Amino acid sequence: MKKSIVSCVVTALVSAGIAGIGSAPAGAAPVSTYEQAASAPPQVDPELRNRVAGGGRVRVNVVTETRKEMPDAARSGRVLQTLSRLPVVTLSVDEAALERLTGLPGVVSVTEDRPVPPVLAQSVSLIGGDRTREAGMTGAGSVVAVLDTGVAVNHPFLRGRVVAEACFSPADPDYSASSLCPGGTDQQEGAGAADAESGPCADAALDCDHGTHVAGIVAGNGQNLAGAPAAGVAPAAELVAIQVFSKFESEDFCGPGAAPCVLSFTSAQLAGLDKVLQLKEAGTPVVAANLSLGGGRYTAPCDDDPRKQAIDDLLEAGVATVVAAGNDGFGDAVNAPACVSSAVTVGSTTVQDEVSGFSNRGPLLDVFAPGTAVVSSMPGGGWAPMSGTSMAAPHVTGAFAVLRQAFPGKTAAELEAAMKTTGRAIAYPGATTPRLQLDDAALGAGPGPEPAPAPTYDNWTSRAIPDPGVVESSIVVEGILGNAPANLEVYADVHHSWRGDLKIDLIAPDGRTYPLRAPAAGDDDDFIHENYRVNASSSPANGTWRLRVQDVKRNDTGNIFGWMLTVPQLTNWTRYDIPDRGTAESSIVVGGIPGNAPVNVKVYVDVHHSWRGDVKVDLIGPNGRVYPVLAPSPKDSEDIIHETYTVNAGSSPASGTWRLRVEDVAAGDTGYLDGWMLTL
């Protein structure tokens, strides 16, 4: 292949690749083939070191930049599993093996192989989809378009609901690309054109299952299906299935050891979006188009993207374009076309309402939805879990169908606004983004006063680091009562030509020093982008905090680019019914914080009850000590509690299981605990 063609196609695929990990679609695994963080330090779960301390062992998934680094990584522990194409190996490791992995060139991330219950019913109920379904809001009367790797149109979860099909799958021998259209042509329309179980996609090695999984999350219906998830978000909506991927044979595009693979040209996506507009203009009631694909890294809107106009035209016609943010773990960036300002950009959260580690996020993100270990339909009539922003986006796509049924006169922009204003606030360094709460958006509960986002303080003034020498950057904290939290988060962004020379400490307002990072002689990378967790409960919260960076050796220079302090919050948004004259409890597990809890624990409570004056609320510490939060008030006839309370919980250990107990003390009214938040 000519060099100029290779260069052009790599550029094209960076902006048009799948929003997934590696060369597979966005939910499949955590590595980008075309934008590898070659110089970034490995991302390591902070809790792993605690798990392996003192001789313990833990299962971990190790992601490497390419498959070439996998054998060296595999030698660090006992191999439990390897994958056929993706650069991921599962190991059993002890403390020494974990330390070796963190310093091994080519390792991108080391994360716990954590067992979780992978059920679609759980992700749908988390956003309130079970309540909208019970209320008859099922997306009936709307059509959603899935632009992906095709759909298994005869899958029992989807059977009878695909009303239109098309395939735009360019073949180009210069790019080793061939068509996935069942008929073998570059374009095909009509019945069977996007069937993932026909033509080349019938080859299981191509992983054309992605689109079927996405479609099931949007609109699957598991009624009377043994072993199936209960339903997708909009189980009565109909589907337009559009194949926009081609088959690639070359490792130049698929990555080492990953050929053949499926990738999507921007031109195919444009043809697919244009087809959606044609259908809409011809009278098909399309409300949203789902694009769980993308590539690149964008911190600002990319409105020069060639897909911008197509997305704008659809929005003007009443169709929202929902795009996965991408799975690179960027804290301040998303992929394209998620960066298009008129697209609805979706990130992923876990069932614990934490940002999924792989999810891109930041100011360009519009909304979060569940995307971790979601079970949905797969070709062949089966079911399987997948994780990624690809799984989060179809929750939002299905939500548009439900909201169109609830509010037929509203525009797509107004439906998007309803999702944002009623969503649960998810705070993370640099931004706060709502997580879809469909029942509140569709059933008129409206946005109650959300808890304030996690307090964040930052200083992005660059400070040069002397060679050798010490430099400090300060942040003034105000408005927090009592001492600092026991799990204060410190994000440091430091650039240095040899970061192993650096020692980093946090200095509290009372002068107490909290070590963050020690020098590491062999560490020759050139920047630090790290979150550190500090038990700072011995120091006052208010006052001047300082980040001190010391260069302990000569010959290299750098600067503090900026840093941030965040007071993190722990949540449980699982809904629990409160029996009439009964009790409901919800728990949050806190780990890794030594000593007792602070004297200014914050507890945010979200309770819905037909007579809230009947409600008594207590916080129960890990040692069983009960801290009263709210006493009954018999004359209070209001029906919602959205309040933050301060509790002196210093008599209980910080780590362990905390419980919120809600008791109905009088007969005649019922309600539910919608969720709560704990800030230590």
Active site residues: 148, 210, 390
Q: Which of 197, 206, 216, 200 is nearest to 157 (CA)?
A: 216
Contact 388, 328 (CB under 8 A): no
What whole-number distance in Å separates Cα of residue 243 and Cα of residue 149?
5
Over its C-alpha atoms, the chain yields an Rg (Å, rounded) of 26
Distance CA 340, CA 346 (A): 12
Enumerate the β-bridge partners of residue 511: none
Question: CA-to-CA distance for 465 and 563, rounded, in angstroms?
Answer: 14
Closest CA to 344 of 411, 288, 302, 299: 288
Per the CB < 8 A criterion, the answer to whether 49 and 95 are in contact is yes
Q: In terms of Cα–Cα distance, which of 138, 235, 239 is closest to 195?
A: 239
Neighbour tally for 67: CB within 10 Å: 21
DSSP-derived 3-state class of residue 28: coil
User: What is the rounded distance in angstroms from the CA atom of residue 17 to the CA atom of residue 209?
Assistant: 16
Q: Which DSSP string corresponds to 93-142?
A: E-HHHHHHHHT-TTEEEEEE-------HHHHHHHTTHHHHHHTT-S-TT-
The tokens for 318 are 């009443």
Crossing angle between the packed helical segments 412-422 and 389-406, to the nearest 10 degrees? 110
Nearest Cα neighbor of 488 from 455, 452, 453 is 455
Q: Contact 614/665 with Cβ under 8 angstroms? A: yes
| Neighbour tally for 191: CB within 10 Å | 10
Whether the Cβ atoms of residue 25 and residue 75 lie closer than 8 Å to each other? no
Q: Is the peptide bond before 632 cis (omega within 30 degrees of 0)?
A: no
Angle between helices 266-281 and 308-316 (to 10 degrees): 10
Separation CA 394–CA 390 (nearest Å):
7
Tell me if the bond preceding 628 is cis, omega within 30° of 0. Answer: no
Neighbours of 212 (CB within 10 A): 31
Round to whole Å and give the CA distance between 277 and 314. Answer: 6
Distance from C-alpha of 161 to C-alpha of 398, rounded to nearest angstrom = 14
Burial-class residue 231 by CB neighbours within 10 Å (0-12, 13-18, 19+). buried
Tokens of 512: 């107490």
For β-strands 143-148 and 286-291, DSSP reports them as parallel
What CA–CA distance (Å, rounded) separates 148 from 605?
Answer: 40
What is d(CA 298, CA 389) in angstroms, rounded to the nearest whole number?
16
What are the Cα distances from residue 545, in Å, to 461, 482, 494? 15, 15, 17
The set of residues, in sequence order, having a beta carbon less than 8 Å from that of 309 and lying 6+ positions away, is: none
Residue 221 per-residue DSSP state: B
411, 436, 643 from 447: Cα distances, Å: 19, 12, 14
